[in-house]
Amino acid sequence: MKKTIYLIPILFVIGMIYCKPNNKKSNYLKNKLINNDTIYYKNGKVKTIYYYNKEREVDSLYDFSEDERFLGKGLVKDSVLYYSRNDKTSYEGGYFDRKLNGVIRFFNSRNKLTASETFVNGIKHGASILFKDNRPNFIIHYENGIRGLIIMLSDEGRINYIRSDKFEKKFTQTARFYDNGRLEQLDYLVNGKSDGWTYLFKKNDSLFSKILYSKGKIIKKN
C-alpha cells in the first residue's frame, strides 16, 4: 500500500513532463486561434500553414520550401499583412482572401524600400514603382500581371527612357531622353528586334537622323 502511495507523485511528475504542451501551440491558444489550413507541394511537403482567428480570418501564415526549409512568416492585422524573412520585414500591405490586394511595399535586408507595387487578388495590376537608394528608378504599369508601359528615371527624377509593350512584348515602342530631358531616340520593335523607322534627335529637339529597320537589320539610313 505504501509503495502505491509513493508511486502516485512520481507518475504525476512524469505525466507533467511528457504532456507539457508545445510552446508554439500554447502561444496559438493564447491568441485564440481556432483552426489552421495547410497547403502542400506536389511532392507532399508542406508549403504554407495558415492560422485563423475566431472570425475565421487569417491571423498568421508560415511558408516552407519544397526541401522543408522555413522561408518566412506573415502576421495579419486589420487586413494588412506584415511578412518577414530572417526576422526582418520583407513586405507589407493589403491582404484579403489569402491574396495580396492594394499597394504592397517591399524592403531589402537593410530595411530600405525597394518597390511599391499594386496588386489585385494576388496579381500585379496598375502602377509599380521600383526604388534605387530610396529614389524612384522605374515606373512600370501592369495589366492583369502583364507588363506594359515602363518609364526609367534619372537620379534627378527626369525621364531617361520609356518603353511600351503590347500583346505580351510582341510589339514595343521605346523612347530615350538626354539628361536635359529632351527626346534622344524613338524606336519600334517587333519580337524584340527593331522594325520600322528609328528616329534620332539632337539635344535641341531637331531631327538628326532616321533609320529604317526590318527584323533588326538596317534597310535604309538618312
pLDDT digits (tens, 9 = 90+) for 114-131: 999 999 999 999 999 999
Query: Does the pLDDT value for residue 202 go beyond 50?
Result: yes
Domain ranges of the chain: 22-77
Band the pLDDT of 20: cuts 50, 70, 90.
very low
Q: Give residue 168's pLDDT.
A: 58
Q: Give residue 91's pLDDT.
A: 97
Query: Does the pLDDT value for residue 5 go beyond 70?
Result: no
Half-sphere exposure of 3 (CA within 13 A, CB side): 0
Residue 82 cell numbers, joined: 506584415
177-198 pLDDT tens trace: 888 778 888 888 888 888 888 8
The string of DSSP letters for 6-28 reads HHHHHHHHHHHHHTPPPHHHHHH
Whether residue 61 contacts residue 53, with contact meaning beta carbons closer than 8 Å, is answered with no
Q: Which residue has the higher pLDDT, 101 or 211?
A: 101
88-117 pLDDT tens trace: 999 999 999 999 999 999 999 999 999 999
Neighbours of 111 (CB within 10 A): 8
- Give the integer Cα–Cα distance in Å for 107 and 101: 17
Average pLDDT, the chain: 82
Ranking 15-29, 76-90, 173-187 by mean pLDDT, the lowest is: 15-29
Band the pLDDT of 24: cuts 50, 70, 90.
very low
> Which one-letter amino acid corresponds to residue 53?
N
Whether residue 127 contacts residue 110, with contact meaning beta carbons closer than 8 Å, is answered with no
